[in-house]
Structure 1
Amino acid sequence: MTTIEERPWDDPAGIALRTAQRAELDQRYGSDDHEPGTPPSAADIDLFLVAFDDDGRALGCGALRRLDDVSAEVKRMYVTPASRGSGTATALLRALEEAARSRGWTTLRLETGPAQPDAIRFYEREGYREIPLFGPYAGSDLSVCYERALV
């Protein structure tokens, strides 16, 4: 069973997950220069969630950063390789969507990259549709953007 908890951005489990995500992306892209937007921080993240198994092991994480009065961006969605295919990513995404709805946000956007075909398949399967590159991702060769209306 997976438990999803809100945690502070500097939570040790969250830091470990984001570090593992960064290492995986560095390997996929062949460098550490693969984030065209402003990296999220404690100052601009409205919500940070961590998924745990029954033994307290951190399985994945995800965050929301407000874009405007009605929309937010999904940031740092990550599930450990051993937990992929278990439903953890879907549970995290649904929890983020519910949190967005409770804040009155009606749209979620996100950015992923062409070297992450598994993420692209996941978001498309979960009802996100590809949109033109937005905000800091406009013009980036490393970005693919998605959106979902929360109605």
Structure 2
Amino acid sequence: MPDPIAVTITREHFDAPDGAALRQAQRDELDARYGRDDHEPGAKPTADSVPIFLVARTADGTAVGCGGLRPLPDGGAEIKRMFVHPSARGAGVSTAILRALEDEARGLGLDRLVLETGTAQPDAIRFYQREGYTPIPLFGPYVGSPLSLCFARALTP
């Protein structure tokens, strides 16, 4: 397992270059796992739909991870575009991003986060379960998707 990596996590615009590059790397990885067909049900995240977008950077400024929050119409928010570059995996970056997203959600007065991940992402499934996210029925655009698994976590103040 790699040594822990110290990161600084800041809010950045969804369309800023480093975030866009990380999201493209995520897309490339998902395409390799699921094929190049459109494997994401529902509306694609945008700067308008993901008003909180965080980027994790190493001490030298290298962007190594990201994640965002998309508010849901019935309350709560959905975690979107959570991704850590393979070179930084296993070093605590994903946990740091997740905790920062949870803090952002609490700051908005939200008490619950939900997310979707894919059946071909066992590491992500284990990560979310380890971090206290429990399986829930498929919601919204994921209902009926054979490739989707959904999770939720209640946030305490």
TM superposition score normalised by structure 2: 0.94
* Aligned match for 1:96, one of 67, 92, 101: 101
Q: Distance in 1 between matches of 2:37 and 2:70?
A: 22
Question: Offset of 1:69 from its aligned partner?
Answer: 5.8
| Cα displacement string for residues 13-68 of structure 1 (whole angstroms, at most 9, x for unaligned residues) | 00000000000000000223210121100111120000000111111000000003
Q: Is the 8 A contact 1:129 1:146 kept in 2?
A: yes
2:3 maps to which residue? none
Change (3 A) 1:9 1:85: same
Name stretches of at least 5 consecutive residues in structure 1 with no aligned partner: none
**Matches for 1:2-151 after TM superposition, within 5 Å:** 2-68=7-73, 70-151=75-156
Q: Distance in 1 between matches of 2:113 and 2:73?
A: 11
- Which portions of structure 1, spanning 4 or more consecutive aligned residues, are displaced by more than 6 angstroms? none
Q: Is the 8 A contact 1:79 1:89 kept in 2?
A: yes
Give the alignment's Cα RMSD to 1 decimal. 0.9
Question: Offset of 1:88 from its aligned partner?
Answer: 0.4
Q: Distance in 1 between matches of 2:55 and 2:140?
A: 26
SS in 1 for 2:144: coil
Q: Is the 8 A contact 1:110 1:146 kept in 2?
A: yes
Question: Offset of 1:144 from its aligned partner?
Answer: 0.2
Q: Is the 8 A contact 2:83 2:94 kept in 1?
A: yes
Percent identity over the alignment is 61
Count how many residue pairs are aligned between Structure 1 and Structure 2: 151
SS in 1 for 2:73: coil
Question: Offset of 1:92 from its aligned partner?
Answer: 0.2
TM superposition score normalised by structure 1: 0.97
Aligned-partner residue type, residue 44 of structure 2: P
Aligned-partner residue type, residue 100 of structure 1: A
Q: Distance in 2 between matches of 1:111 and 1:68?
A: 17
Q: Distance in 2 between matches of 1:69 and 1:132?
A: 16
Question: Offset of 1:70 from its aligned partner?
Answer: 3.3
